[in-house]
Amino acid sequence: MSEPLHDPVKIGIVSISDRASTGVYEDKGLPALQDWLTRALHNPITFEPRLIPDEQAGISAALVELVDAGCALVLTTGGTGPALRDVTPEATLAVAHKEMPGFGEQMRQISLKFVPTAILSRQVAVIRGNSLIINLPGQPKAIAETLEGLKDADGQQIVPGIFAAVPYCIDLIGGPYLETRDTVCKAFRPKSAIRAPRTA
């Protein structure tokens, strides 16, 4: 039996933290993103990791660099609250060609199921060129909840995670065909957009 072929994908993962970037404490954002994406996708992934401080110009520069390097998807973690040093959304919007407000709305809906302070989060998602950039929460548990959504004890989806919409969004902007593992996160595509499996 031939193995199915999956498009390779390059994904930028950016952890934004003054303290972690200077070694005050260990960064948990990048390992959490890498672990979840590896579990969720069948595609062979090349990760482009960045650990940077909460500096708006530096964040914007890193996002542009990752898009220019061919990352179809760039996920950031950290710096999305109301504190003075939280400037990730501003840095992301500054490099946007299009804003995708549905992602931020859904992230807050998911997080509100867990904590009332979710309304303080300011995550945004944007398109730059052929790349989708999404700001995620800072905590590894919240990253997984946001991407995967909320399931009941039987594994049935109560609130859809945002990643269900990511593969089709990337199709629409000319990126690789992402294929998810349904046990982690089932991608949604209209029937007309579903590609027949390719084999070696």
Tens of pLDDT, residues 75-134: 999 999 999 999 999 999 999 999 999 999 999 999 998 899 999 999 999 999 999 999
Give CA–CA dist 60/57, Å, rounded.
Answer: 5
pLDDT at 31 (0 to 100): 96
Whether 156 has a pLDDT exceeding 90, the answer reads no
The 3-state DSSP class for residue 47 equals strand
- pLDDT band for position 3 (50/70/90)? confident
- Where do runs of H (alpha helix) occur along 24-70? 29-40, 56-68
Report the chain's mean pLDDT, rounded to a whole number.
94
Cβ atoms of 43 and 6 within 8 Å: the answer is yes
pLDDT at 78 (0 to 100): 96
For the stretch 24-63, pLDDT in tens is 889 999 999 999 999 999 999 999 999 999 999 999 999 9
Q: b or e along 39-49 (b: 16 or more beta carbons within 10 Å of the residue's beta carbon)? A: ebbebebeebb
Amino acid at 172: L
pLDDT at 41 (0 to 100): 98
pLDDT at 23 (0 to 100): 85
pLDDT at 198 (0 to 100): 84
Whether 158 has a pLDDT exceeding 80, the answer reads yes
The 3-state DSSP class for residue 183 equals coil
Whether 2 has a pLDDT exceeding 70, the answer reads no
- pLDDT band for position 152 (50/70/90)? confident
The closest alpha carbon to 166, from 192, 138, 146, belongs to 146
